[in-house]
Structure 1
Amino acid sequence: MRLPSLSWMKRICLALTLLCLASFFLPSPAQKQCSTALVAISYLSFCLQTLRRHKDELATQHHGFSAELNQANAQNVLIAYASQTGFAEQIAVKTAQHLQDAGMNVAVSSLAAIKAEILSKTSRILFILSTTGEGDAPDNAASFTRLLMSQKIDLSHLHFAVLALGDRHYQQFCAFAHRVDLWLKHQQAHSLFDMIEVDNGDEAALRHWQHYLGLLSGHTEMADWSKPAYQEWILTERELLNPGSLGGPAYRIACIPARDAGSGEYIWQAGDIAEIGPDYPTKNTSEERPALPHREYSISSLPADGKLELLVRQMRRPDGSLGIGSGWLTAHAEIGQSIKLRIRENRNFHTPSQDHPLILIGNGTGLAGLRAHIKARAARGHLRNWLFFGERSEAHDFFHRQEIQDWQACGVLSKLNLCFSRDQAERRYVQHALQEQQADIVAWVEQGAAILVCGSLQGMAEEVHQTLSNLLGLDKLEQMAESGLYKRDVY
């Protein structure tokens, strides 16, 4: 007989009932043996049920984190995890601890406990999702997948982020997390930042997640979960790019390896990231101080340039003191001094291998990541490149002006749109230029163009994403993202 679709506990109860009925037809000795077995099985099922209840309680209450948030609050964050081996659960607890230490109200829950009514009352949620086998959801995510993701729910109030855990040896890398991310966007939820993929527990990707947690909480000085394996570089150049600007000073920073540059660890591609290990402004050998957290910057040069260049905005705290990373690179470190630096591959911002036309969109220091891509395209002879760049003032904030004008003159940039927001009475940003160029943008995309966006997450990236959705259609933009033709490096 085939049992209907029942939970394992209901199956045990049904089996016990059938066994009890059958025992009435057995001889007395057999009845006694059967009764003994029934007592043992009943006790076992009770223990299993108790254990399962205990696990469910643990799944929604970790190390002092509550299972729910009682009221809507800007400081509230729900963390939901789907874990097969326990790794996603561990990262969820670390994430919660990080945010709680920053003063935020945090709840941690297994994905199995997330229902539609919870999402309807939640304003911010972080998903930490494993993928098992060939793109499957973990066992504890089955109900979420079957019951919730089959529904159409208005989540336009919800802001979310996804940390995807997987293994690139499998063809469907992080597939479950991608399905959840896509479903949330189809429900009109808003991403706090782009999905971060973690290959086999990659510590660099987890530090990237922690970097965004710092931005989310407003506390960027938390200690790193794991210390990067830095290499030694030498700071060789520091050039102020915007003298007289009303904005914060922006510097071109150049470094070279401290030892033989023939090593593979000094090779990078356009789109990759430099992890910097800042140091304290002054040395004090009598006092042992904790290592400062790493900082991340888009690399704006190529290995062929003979140096690694960054474009760094000098940041100041409310008390006037300099930021940890920007202060170290733009003021405290001396020319010729050793710098701790690690190159991190950033596949999510590499261009497609084919010669697609390329639309590059950025503002401020986001020009760094776009500059490296234009250099790489020029070196390969790919000339269909279109740059949209925005800053405050053309007179003071046109970073790398001569280089960009030279690219335009020699045909590396076939189209160039500049937006300087303070040069006219009405503020003008890159999204306005995109709207004005709708016909040509649509034509380029129809011809297979890829789109790269680099710069500030708050404001620019959100507005650009919404504008592109309006110009191309949300389905088309998501289709481009899935095929690697729409990529962002935003911070």
Structure 2
Amino acid sequence: MISFEPIRLGGAGLLLLSYAALCIAKLRRPPARPMPKGADWLVVYASQTGSAEFLAGRTAATLTTSGLHAHAVDIGSVDATLLASATRVLFIVSTYGEGDAPDSAARFAQNIMAATPDLAHLHYGVLALGDSSYTNYCGFGRGLDAWLQARGARPLFDRIDVDKGAPAAIADWQHQLSHVAGTSDAPDWEAPAFGNWRIVTRRQLNPGSAGAPLFHIALSPSDAALPHWEAGDLVQITPPHDAHPRDYSIASVPGEGHLGLMVRLHRNDDGSNGAASGWLCAGAQEGDVISLRVRAHQRFRLNGNAGRPLILIGNGSGLAGLRAHLKARVDAGSKENWLIFGERSPANDALCADELQHWRRSGGLAELDLAYSRDPARPRYVQQVVDERAADIAAWVARGAAIYVCGSLQGMAGGVHAALEQALGADALEALDVAGRYCRDVY
């Protein structure tokens, strides 16, 4: 168990930096606002990887097609004033981790749902996205539905739970929309189609590791041009004989001429390989066809942070998303980049070591901190590095830096979040989140 003790030297300076960051973010935060003018319906989405946002856009478009005025908003912008002015709201919400709210919904869950507003004026519907392999299936959506009813809001129809994007559940939602909108016309709800891709190369990045094998896999379209994507985006891959797609962070940029992934081979309790990772890492051969599509991941793209210093933090296969950002930044000539990354052993788990050291020597990486939990000389975790370098992180943030975290939800992400709260202050870290300067892609 790691303890996070207060930084004694420069404590006043860190306090001032944290306060300044909080004030700046609050100045940038949009004021509380009433229901958008002319909107009959509010479509509120809580998305982690983009699925809920996509469905919210299609939902608002369906309502608009029928002649209604609909407005889709991120749940992070919903406050008590907006709820008080709304009369009809459709919620499309994901569940994250073990029943938690997505990052974008954390403040709504902690602040709005902790209060007891009278919502008797509100009619609503809930589409809950989840994965039944987790214990608290659709936990946030179920909790939101219960809270709304407890506050007096009236459901337009029963909550619809969606297991791994099940088409039948999405069709049920569309049917309910057609009923409330009074129309059978609807815009196209189809996401980009899956295409045929082939494995160009596959190599293990950690031979001899005590951990599960981790592979770099290079893919190219078999019958089309390489599509466009941005650093931070994802792919969905459907393995043979398994209908539910899996998401993976893209580890490359289009200019490299291929789509790169970093995939950890998952082993089930019975010793068998995972359906998707087993196929990608062991079952498929070079030249075999993979069913794949690229998905925009807006919450982990740089967007307005492109001109800022960038602190990238992660572990394990999370290096994929971080490496794409670094490659894009290096190619663009941006030099204010800092990578804090952790793995098991420096002898067998030094992922992309030559490339990272080259960027460090050539100036593409201003700072590089590597943590190995089983390093005989200095064992430590990523969150310990964040703790040790708290003053430097606060200084980078004061200069406008954004923080991106990618990797394990269990252990790393929580530990890093706690260490960043210690370094910057909880309010300042929340302010960075509100300003879009603290982004996570953790799983």
Instruction: Assess same fold via TM > 0.5.
Output: yes
Q: 1:251·1:313 contact (CA, 8 Å) conserved in 2?
A: yes
Residue of 415, 418, 425 corresponding to 1:466: 418
CA distance, structure 2, for counterparts of residue 390 and residue 179 of structure 1: 29
Residue of 427, 439, 443 corresponding to 1:487: 439
5+ residue gaps, structure 2: 1-39, 48-73, 90-97, 116-124, 139-162, 168-189
CA distance, structure 2, for counterparts of residue 431 and residue 132 of structure 1: 32
Equivalent AA in structure 1 for residue 101 of structure 2: A
CA distance, structure 2, for counterparts of residue 419 and residue 468 of structure 1: 16
CA distance, structure 1, for counterparts of residue 135 and residue 360 of structure 2: 38
Equivalent AA in structure 2 for residue 277 of structure 1: T
Higher relative contact order (CA 8 A, sep 6+): 2
Q: 1:275·1:344 contact (CA, 8 Å) conserved in 2?
A: yes
Is 2:380 the partner of 1:428?
A: yes
Equivalent AA in structure 2 for residue 270 of structure 1: A
CA distance, structure 2, for counterparts of residue 133 and residue 458 of structure 1: 30
1:225: which partner in 2? Answer: 166
**CA displacement 1:379-398 (0-9 Å, x = unmatched):** 11110111001000011011
Cα gap change, 1:452 to 1:186, in 2 (>3 Å): farther
**TM-score, structure 2 normalization:** 0.63
Cα gap change, 1:425 to 1:304, in 2 (>3 Å): closer
Is 2:297 the partner of 1:377?
A: no
CA distance, structure 2, for counterparts of residue 474 and residue 413 of structure 1: 28
Q: 1:223·1:292 contact (CA, 8 Å) conserved in 2?
A: no
Equivalent AA in structure 1 for residue 218 of structure 2: A
Residue of 246, 252, 255 corresponding to 1:301: 252
Residue pairs, 1:2-401, within 5 angstroms: 136-137=82-83, 138-139=86-87, 160-162=100-102, 180-181=108-109, 183=111, 209-210=129-130, 214-215=133-134, 224-226=165-167, 229-261=193-225, 266-280=227-241, 291-351=242-302, 352-401=304-353
**CA displacement 1:436-463 (0-9 Å, x = unmatched):** 1111111100000000000000110011
Deviation at 1:474, TM superposition (A): 0.9
**CA displacement 1:357-400 (0-9 Å, x = unmatched):** 11000000000000000001011111011100100001101111
For the aligned residue pairs, the C-alpha RMSD in angstroms reads 3.6
Cα gap change, 1:450 to 1:88, in 2 (>3 Å): closer
Deviation at 1:160, TM superposition (A): 3.3
5+ residue gaps, structure 1: 1-83, 92-127, 142-157, 165-176, 188-200, 281-290
**CA displacement 1:261-293 (0-9 Å, x = unmatched):** 16xxx110000001001114xxxxxxxxxx421
Equivalent AA in structure 2 for residue 269 of structure 1: E
Q: 1:359·1:452 contact (CA, 8 Å) conserved in 2?
A: yes
Q: 1:88·1:130 contact (CA, 8 Å) conserved in 2?
A: no
Number of aligned residue pairs: give it.
310
Q: 2:130·2:164 contact (CA, 8 Å) conserved in 1?
A: no
Q: 1:275·1:297 contact (CA, 8 Å) conserved in 2?
A: yes
Q: 1:129·1:162 contact (CA, 8 Å) conserved in 2?
A: no
Q: 1:129·1:163 contact (CA, 8 Å) conserved in 2?
A: no
Deviation at 1:332, TM superposition (A): 1.0
Secondary structure at the residue paired with 1:432?
Answer: helix
CA distance, structure 2, for counterparts of residue 365 and residue 473 of structure 1: 28
Identity of aligned residues (%): 43
Equivalent AA in structure 2 for residue 136 of structure 1: L
Q: 1:234·1:339 contact (CA, 8 Å) conserved in 2?
A: yes
Q: 1:273·1:346 contact (CA, 8 Å) conserved in 2?
A: yes
CA distance, structure 2, for counterparts of residue 442 and residue 318 of structure 1: 42
Q: 1:392·1:422 contact (CA, 8 Å) conserved in 2?
A: yes
Deviation at 1:224, TM superposition (A): 3.8
2:371: which partner in 1? Answer: 419
Deviation at 1:325, TM superposition (A): 1.1
Residue pairs, 1:430-445, within 5 angstroms: 430-445=382-397
Q: 2:164·2:244 contact (CA, 8 Å) conserved in 1?
A: yes
Equivalent AA in structure 2 for residue 438 of structure 1: A
Secondary structure at the residue paired with 1:489?
Answer: strand
Deviation at 1:179, TM superposition (A): 5.4
Equivalent AA in structure 1 for residue 333 of structure 2: G
CA distance, structure 2, for counterparts of residue 487 and residue 88 of structure 1: 20
Secondary structure at the residue paired with 1:374?
Answer: helix
Higher mean C-alpha displacement, 360-369 vs 421-430: 421-430
**CA displacement 1:148-172 (0-9 Å, x = unmatched):** xxxxxxxxxx9731598xxxxxxxx
**TM-score, structure 1 normalization:** 0.57
CA distance, structure 1, for counterparts of residue 336 and residue 113 of structure 2: 31
CA distance, structure 2, for counterparts of residue 130 and residue 429 of structure 1: 31
Q: Give 1 or 2 for the bigger CA radius of gyration.
A: 1
**CA displacement 1:29-78 (0-9 Å, x = unmatched):** xxxxxxxxxxxxxxxxxxxxxxxxxxxxxxxxxxxxxxxxxxxxxxxxxx
